[in-house]
């Protein structure tokens, strides 16, 4: 499967960009739209129809909202029906069986599960198309009268599957006209290679430890090994998701688009509040703009502020997956952020080093809650972390994974990227990028372990 996917990518990318760069400006959206259909269809052709329906429904709704500005009830009705459709599609494919399972458990019913599989990237592209309709209703963007341009926005392949979440207003002008500069192409290639190497060389290498612990059984591991595994997963999820985001941003530059930054060295944070300003910035920005602020934000008193925070973090957790561990993960951050708002933020702001240790400690625990969907297994792993159990297993695994974990830690601090950024000689930086690309390709061709963690969202 990996080999066939590699063959497709290495065939698709050169052919697509060759045609894209040759195409006149007015035809570039057509090339990008068709290329994105081929790209998505290779992975999941049966759900192309779902994306086309989403484009058509939101396009028509956008026209009605724009043209019926004076007929407030009609405008509002179409807007709400469109949002209902978008949310319903997400609910049907992602949450329906979770809902049925919980109904059966609570009321001892025997409703049958619905046979559906999760379409790739549905959480991401649903939020993207909703941003278009909401901002149009608010009057923040103009209606898109070209179904091709709206379709290109929604199905654009670099960030279609796993983000970053690109709000329509951020690329509205570039959909009409974009200029391809040589320096942007050079930068795009560099960013793409850095993202690919982050994902393949670091995330895959450090992440296989987490899988090994699952095979060993969480009740059979020592406390030091449990912490080493949790740290490994903490590094894996960052380099996996940030790696994909960088690849998407790099490909966007190659296409003439400037996608928003999704990560800003989150593991150097000195509070949970700061961590969420740096982690998955487009998701937290989306929830802030389209949910927290419309609910009233912090403008309606302390009680409402915490109610709004609860709603946002409950849904943030649920957005990540149809499982209670994700809800727990979201509420875990709700509690920590609320405590920092109440009093903890002022205390830790005076202790920089301790604040950093406190943040990393809590973030590592959060990723354990995020990673383990089975409640019994989660409890078992947390016991292994906090009820001390010795063992010599740490020696073997620290020997096998210690070096890559140290490299990942240094890279997550931003030190390596700062050193790379200071290289002014284009030939040297080009050679480094070429070396990283060759190593990444070798890893991909050889490795059996190559997950993309955020594809399931």
Yes or no: say if 127 and 419 are a contact pair by the CB < 8 Å rule: no
CA-CA distances (angstroms) from residue 56 to 34, 85, 88, 125, 134?
16, 12, 16, 14, 16
- Rounded to whole angstroms, what are the CA distances from 422 to 288, 385, 394, 426, 428? 35, 40, 37, 11, 11
Question: What HEC string does 369-409 produce?
Answer: HHHCCCHHHHHHHHHHHHCCCCCCHHHHHHHHHHHHHHHHH
Helices (H), 23-121: 28-43, 48-67, 72-90, 96-107
Between CA 14 and CA 11 the distance in angstroms is 6
Distance, in Å, from the CA atom of 158 to the CA atom of 337, rounded to the nearest integer, reads 32
Name the DSSP class of 94.
I
CA end-to-end span of the chain, whole Å? 21
Which residues lie below 8 Å from residue 176, measured CB to CB, with a gap of 6+?
A: 149
Identify which of 58, 115, 59 has the alpha carbon closest to the alpha carbon of residue 86. Answer: 58
Q: Which residues are designated catalytic?
A: 320
């Amino acid at each position: 499967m990996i080999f066939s996917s590699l063959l497709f990518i290495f065939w698709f990318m050169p052919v697509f960009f060759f045609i894209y760069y040759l195409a006149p400006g007015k035809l570039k959206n057509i090339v990008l739209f068709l290329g994105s259909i081929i790209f998505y269809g290779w992975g999941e052709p049966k759900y192309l129809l779902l994306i086309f329906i989403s484009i058509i429904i939101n396009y028509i709704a956008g026209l009605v909202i724009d043209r019926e500005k004076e007929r407030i009830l009609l405008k509002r009705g179409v807007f709400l029906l469109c949002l209902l459709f978008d949310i319903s599609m997400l609910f049907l494919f992602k949450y329906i069986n979770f809902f049925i399972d919980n109904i059966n458990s609570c009321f001892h019913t025997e409703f049958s599960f619905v046979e559906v599989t999760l379409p790739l990237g549905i959480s991401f592209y649903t939020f993207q198309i909703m941003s278009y309709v909401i901002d149009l209703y608010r009057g923040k963007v103009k209606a898109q009268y070209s179904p091709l341009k709206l379709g290109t926005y929604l199905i654009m392949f670099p960030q279609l599957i796993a983000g970053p979440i690109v709000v329509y207003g951020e690329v509205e002008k570039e959909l009409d006209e974009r200029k391809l500069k040589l320096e942007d192409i050079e930068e795009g290639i560099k960013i793409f290679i850095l993202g690919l190497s982050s994902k393949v060389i670091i995330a895959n290498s450090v992440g296989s430890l987490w899988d090994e612990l699952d095979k060993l059984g969480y009740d059979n591991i020592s406390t030091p090994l449990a912490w080493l595994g949790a740290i490994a997963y903490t590094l894996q999820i960052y380099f996996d998701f940030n790696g994909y985001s960088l690849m998407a941003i790099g490909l966007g530059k190659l296409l003439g688009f400037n996608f928003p930054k999704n990560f800003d060295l989150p593991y150097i944070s000195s509070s949970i509040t700061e961590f969420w300003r740096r982690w998955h910035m487009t998701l937290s920005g989306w929830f802030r703009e389209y949910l927290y602020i419309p609910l009233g934000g912090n403008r309606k008193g302390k009680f409402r502020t915490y109610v709004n925070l609860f709603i946002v973090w409950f849904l943030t957790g649920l957005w990540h997956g149809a499982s209670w561990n994700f809800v727990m993960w979201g509420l875990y951050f709700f509690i920590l952020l609320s405590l920092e708002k109440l009093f903890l933020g002022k205390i830790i702001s005076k202790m920089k080093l301790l604040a950093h240790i406190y943040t990393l400690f809590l973030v590592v625990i959060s990723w354990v809650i995020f990673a383990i969907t089975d409640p019994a297994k989660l409890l078992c792993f947390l016991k292994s972390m906090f009820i001390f159990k010795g063992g010599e297993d740490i020696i073997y695994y620290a020997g096998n994974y210690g070096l890559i974990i140290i490299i990942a830690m240094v890279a997550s601090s931003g030190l390596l990227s700062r050193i790379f950024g200071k290289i002014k000689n284009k030939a040297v930086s080009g050679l480094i990028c070429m070396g990283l690309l060759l190593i990444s390709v070798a890893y991909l061709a050889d490795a059996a372990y190559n997950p993309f963690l955020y594809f399931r969202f």
